[in-house]
Chains A and B, each alone.
Chain A
Amino acid sequence: MAGITLLVLLIGLASIFWQLARARAVQFRRAVRFGSLPAQHGWTVALWAVLPALALLVVWQIAAPALVTDAVLRTPAAADLPPPGFARATLLSQARALATGHGAESVEPLSRRLAPAYAAATRRSHWIATVAVLALAIGAGAAALARVRAGTPARTRVERLVTALLFAASLVAILTTAGILFSLVWESGRFFATVPAQRFLFGTHWSPQSIVDDAPGDVLGALPLFWGTFFIGAVIAMAVAVPLGLLSAIYLSQYAAGSTRRLLKPALEVLAGVPTVVYGYFGALTVAPAVRRLGMALGMADASSESAMAAGLVMGVMILPFVSSIADDSLIAVPVELGEASLALGATTSETVRQVLLPAALPGVAGGVLLAISRAVGETMIVVMVASAVATLSVNPFASATTVTRQIIDLLTGEATFDSPKTLAAFALGLTLFVVTLALNIAALALVRRHRVRGG
């Protein structure tokens, strides 16, 4: 509460300083013709008022709880507290809850006695923070205001600040990725401490529900999962998505009349907007039974209703617009002159596409396919609904198959404790998936970039 009031006060101060600095700078305006604009002086001073104060506020917010607890511990009532440990922490947190007006039931008497001290210390802390932050804001702002002169390079400072802000914004994504990777690596490290990596990566027996405590590695061989993921995502799904996507892109970019293109392209893009859960329904209710009947008709007794084929087909349709869109972009990025050169030699459109446009667009298309594989491999919802929970190692597309993502879900929705090998195995699976998709994405981007350099 006090934090928000303080923020509002700070913003108010900043706008006052902005006005003051601007008004001051306007007077210098005539002296230097191409000096910084008054508003830029305004921003510099306003930021001087706000940024150090904000930094102090952040530091205070981090330090305050410890300081408050420290003050409470120095009161006479605290002498009765048990030594540091679980009991002491519970008593203190109850007292803190009481002081802020939460949780009144079944509170220890000692906590009740400590609560007023907590309340007082917290109040004091707020006051100190408010005064210190406001004083710093006014002081720093006034100092900056005094430095506003005709020659102050406010413009460069504002530019530098903009750069810093933009950099910080782009850093968020990178830091998040790094953080995710770190937590994955950390938990996976704990997993690999109990199960050897080669056992996990190349073991062929996966049945985490029958895990034994002293030899978890025996049932955590993930090869069937990797195979299933590859078979469904990279083989069957791509066998659907690549030819259809490519052919539709060729039609749309080279053959379709403008009106057809205006109709078909959005229709294809709608397909990309269908939630994967809906694909999952469709797969589980319609495609999977049909595939099973087909398998039976072909004389396969073990045709499953949770087959690799069903999951792969549905996933292929899901990925199709993505492949088509990238192939379309790559074909359109081929310089018009190349197509014209071929046509002017008397080549037909299909000859031109086959011999000139497709080869030139190939790196871009290949990059798109790799990106598509990485999406298919990471896709979860469809395989949760369509693929099997049982890990089998089979090249028969009509047999049941499972994927890494499906198993991660199963591992984490169980009742195992957080640090059991079963749960940690999910992190190891996640890490493997992350590394594979990262490698695919890097390769894809490199291909697409090379394509751009050559095409452009």
Chain B
Amino acid sequence: MTVKIAARHVSAFYGDVRALDDVSIDIDTDHVTALIGPSGCGKSTLLRTLNRLTDTVPGARVEGDIRLDGRDIHGRDMDVVELRARVGMVFQKPNPFPKSIYENVAYGPRIHGLARGRGELDAVVETSLRRTGLWDEVKDRLSDRGTALSGGQQQRLCIARALAIEPEVILMDEPCSALDPIATARIEELIGALSGRYAIAIVTHNMQQAARVSQRTAFFHLGRLVEYGDTSDIFTNPRAERTKDYITGRYG
């Protein structure tokens, strides 16, 4: 088991509001980590501190130490561009660019100059779309707008877009909350297929989803990490009373 991201004593503030309170957590390379907890518990904020997307929020502040492969992500030698290229993200609402399907996937490789020539770029786009199972559905209309796809397809396009620059970590912020059950099942399948190759952290409100897709689960409450362990343990034998209440649906 290799630790990809190590967060120690991380607190986050939006203005005077404390959204994360002294959270320490490891994200492994070989596992899917589920972050669960009631709304406003700080799990999405934690996700956003990991690729420093909190930087873009006016008035947001992060304290503590976060390391990617042992390197401080706030350190001088870590450029935020490099960090975000290595730590990809999939958002709650599918957010393809208002560009063609092809251009959506090609965006990252173009920005970072990863492909030499059209042929290489075509190959990257095809591989990424194949990995998300979207290739066969869209290969004949790569020049259509990404926004014209169905919600589930859009979300897989966004995952393909993230995969196209070969990140090491993928952060997923409730990736299925805007999707129907069939599209959700496809995304969950996809997460299963991607795990092992990428370190994955997924925020979800859906207990069954957490149980299905993850091997490690962290339960957050009021900005604090209450319990973190193997998913099977958390769901069958939670140590904290609050975790038990939450996963059995007594509140939250």
Contact = CB atoms under 8 A, between A and B. Distances in A.
A107 to B, nearest CB: 78
B95 interface: yes
Nearest to A351: B111
B112 A346 contact: yes
A406 B56 CA distance: 49
Interface string A250-276: 000000011000000000000000000
Contacts of B82: 346
Given A343-B84, A344-B84, A346-B165, A338 B111 contact: no
A344 B165 CA distance: 11
A355 B56 contact: no
A335 interface: yes
B85 interface: yes
A340 B56 contact: yes
A360 B81 CA distance: 22
A341 B161 CA distance: 9
Residue in B56, B59, B83, B108 with the greatest tally of chain A CB atoms within 10 Å: B56
Contact of A344 (B53, B93, B97, B99): B53
A253 to B, nearest CB: 12
Interface residues of A, number: 21
Given A338-B97, A355-B107, A359-B99, A343 B161 contact: no
Interface string A340-371: 11111111100100011001100000000000
B111 A337 contact: no
Interface string B82-100: 1111001101010111110
Given A258-B58, A346-B81, A346-B82, A341 B112 contact: no
A454 interface: yes
Interface in B115-152: none
Interface size class of B (residues with CB under 8 A): 20 to 34
Contact of B162 (A257, A345, A347): A345
Nearest to A359: B98
Nearest to B95: A337
Nearest to B104: A341
A356 B97 contact: yes
A216 to B, nearest CB: 54
B20 interface: no
B51 interface: yes
Nearest to A356: B97
Nearest to B164: A345
A344 B88 contact: yes
Given A345-B84, A345-B107, A351-B111, A337 B93 contact: yes
Contacts of B162: 344-345
A338 B112 CA distance: 18
B95 A346 contact: no
A341 B81 contact: no
A340 B54 CA distance: 10
B98 A341 contact: no
Nearest to B94: A337
A335 to B, nearest CB: 7
A100 to B, nearest CB: 69
Contacts of A345: 84-85, 88, 107-108, 111, 161-162, 165
A340 B95 contact: yes
B107 A340 contact: no
Contacts of A360: 97-98
A342 B111 CA distance: 10
B158 interface: yes
Contacts of A454: 98
Contacts of B58: 257-258
Contacts of B88: 344-345
Contacts of A356: 97
A359 B83 CA distance: 26
Contacts of A335: 95
B111 A341 contact: no
B95 A347 contact: no
Nearest to A360: B98
Nearest to B85: A346
A341 B95 contact: yes
Given A346-B111, A346-B112, A341 B97 contact: yes
A276 to B, nearest CB: 36
A356 B111 CA distance: 12
A328 to B, nearest CB: 16
Given A340-B53, A360-B98, A454-B98, A346 B93 contact: no
Interface string A229-242: 00000000000000
A355 B158 CA distance: 16
Given A342-B107, A359-B99, 8 more contacts: A337-B95, A338-B98, A340-B89, A343-B56, A344-B88, A346-B81, A346-B85, A355-B111
25 contacts: A258-B59, A335-B95, A337-B95, A340-B89, A340-B95, A341-B91, A342-B107, A343-B56, A344-B84, A344-B162, A345-B85, A345-B88, A345-B107, A345-B162, A346-B81, A346-B82, A346-B83, A346-B84, A346-B165, A347-B81, A355-B107, A356-B97, A359-B99, A360-B97, A454-B98
Interface of B: 51, 53, 56, 58-59, 81-85, 88-89, 91, 93, 95-99, 107-108, 111-112, 158, 161-162, 165
